[in-house]
Amino acid sequence: MKAAVRHSQKKIGVKSNRKSIVLLGMALPFVILVFMFNYVPLFGWVYAFFDYKPGIPLADSKFVGLKFFELIVNDGGDMARVLKNTLAMGLLGILCAPLPVLFAIMLNEVKPKFFRKFVQTAATFPNFISWVIVFSLSFSIFSNEGLFNRVMLSLGVIDEPTNLLGNLGAVWYFQTALLIWKSLGWTSVIYLAAIAGIDSEIYEAGKMDGAGRLKLIWHVTVPGLMPTFIVLLLLSVSNILTIGFDQYYAFKNPLVADNIEVLDLYVYRIGIATNDYSYATAIGIAKTFVGIVLLFSVNSFAKKVRGQSIV
């Protein structure tokens, strides 16, 4: 009897090992891709410590130590302006973080399944549209000859066309609105999944106690979403210096260049357009370390306030 049990346990162990090997084999290509695109490029950080010029081997370049990092601190012109733009649009995005939560709650309360799926699909679709296409659509709608100005002029709301794509004072708010429109539906999917994970018995108990829809949302749904919201919010805070490149590259023009150039776009301009690879690399390294410091800072703050951490 004992021998049969051992034989059975051995067979189960062999099957389990085979399954683990198969799963490992399936995950291995993705692990390799992550390593190639996220860790191998870290060897390029060495360029930040040399006065590298394209065409000259790194071994023949002059070692300058922390010269380019000191330049970041002492560069009060472009760097200050770029950081101001990055932080301003990053903070606007953080302030709008509750919007996907609100949208997910409202969508969850819609009873007709067909309408709910239609709205969710329509709201999620912009996430898969390239920023180049978004710029083309925005140009067709918001340029001087676009649909928006034509409608406003015909209704007598405005006396002359308003070019939102070239409005220096409105660029932060306009770009934030476009980002919300593009990401709202996709981000709400995370909150819809969190809502689906809330125990339905809690809702039933609330209904038995006489709670209506609004009270159930406030006392059950919102507390159930808070852990997910806090995690995403803290990650957004830690990534405030990495708010994207392609959006601002597509919408950049001479009229709004001063207020739309964020840190990633500035690194591209310095590194690729002017071939100053060393300084651009130093900025990228500094941004990475600031992001790490912010991540662990907000993680410590979350641990003290909520007793839970994300790292």
Of 66, 87, 77, residue with least CA distance to 294: 87
- Separation of CA 84 from chain center: 19
Of 275, 263, 292, 272, residue with least CA distance to 75: 263
**Token pair listed for 305:** 């306030």
Give the integer Cα–Cα distance in Å for 43 and 55: 19
CATH (residue range 75-275): 1.10.3720.10
β-partners of residue 51 are: 62
Label residue 289 exposed, middle or buried (CB < 10 Å: 0-12, 13-18, 19+): exposed
Neighbours of 190 (CB within 10 A): 17
**Token pair listed for 238:** 């830690």
pLDDT tens for the chain, 311 residues: list them. 545 445 555 555 556 677 788 888 888 999 999 999 888 888 889 999 999 888 888 888 899 888 888 888 887 678 889 989 999 999 999 999 999 999 999 999 888 888 888 999 999 999 999 999 999 999 999 988 888 888 888 888 888 888 888 888 899 999 999 999 999 999 999 999 999 888 888 888 888 888 888 888 898 899 999 888 988 888 888 888 888 889 999 999 998 989 999 999 999 988 888 888 899 999 989 888 888 888 888 888 777 776 666 66
* Residue recorded with tokens 């912010």: 294
CA distances from 143 to 68, 88, 136, 166 (A): 40, 24, 10, 8
Of 286, 7, 228, residue with least CA distance to 100: 228
- Separation of CA 145 from chain center: 32
Kindly report the backbone phi and psi dihedral angles of residue 63, in degrees, each rounded to the nearest multiple of 5, phi listed first.
Answer: -80, 125
Q: What is the pTM of this model?
A: 0.83
Neighbours of 246 (CB within 10 A): 14
What are the residues whose beta carbons fall under 8 Å from the beta carbon of 283, sequence distance 6 or more? 72, 263, 266, 267, 270
β-partners of residue 50 are: 63
pLDDT at residue 206, rounded to an integer: 85
Give the integer Cα–Cα distance in Å for 68 and 283: 8
Q: Would you give the end-to-end CA distance of the chain in angstroms?
A: 48
pLDDT at residue 20, rounded to an integer: 81
**Token pair listed for 178:** 């476009």
Of 159, 166, 176, 122, residue with least CA distance to 142: 166
Give the integer Cα–Cα distance in Å for 185 and 208: 33
pLDDT at residue 12, rounded to an integer: 53
CB 139 within 8 A of CB 146: yes
**Token pair listed for 112:** 């007709």
Any idea what DSSP says for residue 62? E
**Token pair listed for 226:** 């808070």
Give the integer Cα–Cα distance in Å for 42 and 277: 14
Of 170, 160, 169, residue with least CA distance to 138: 170
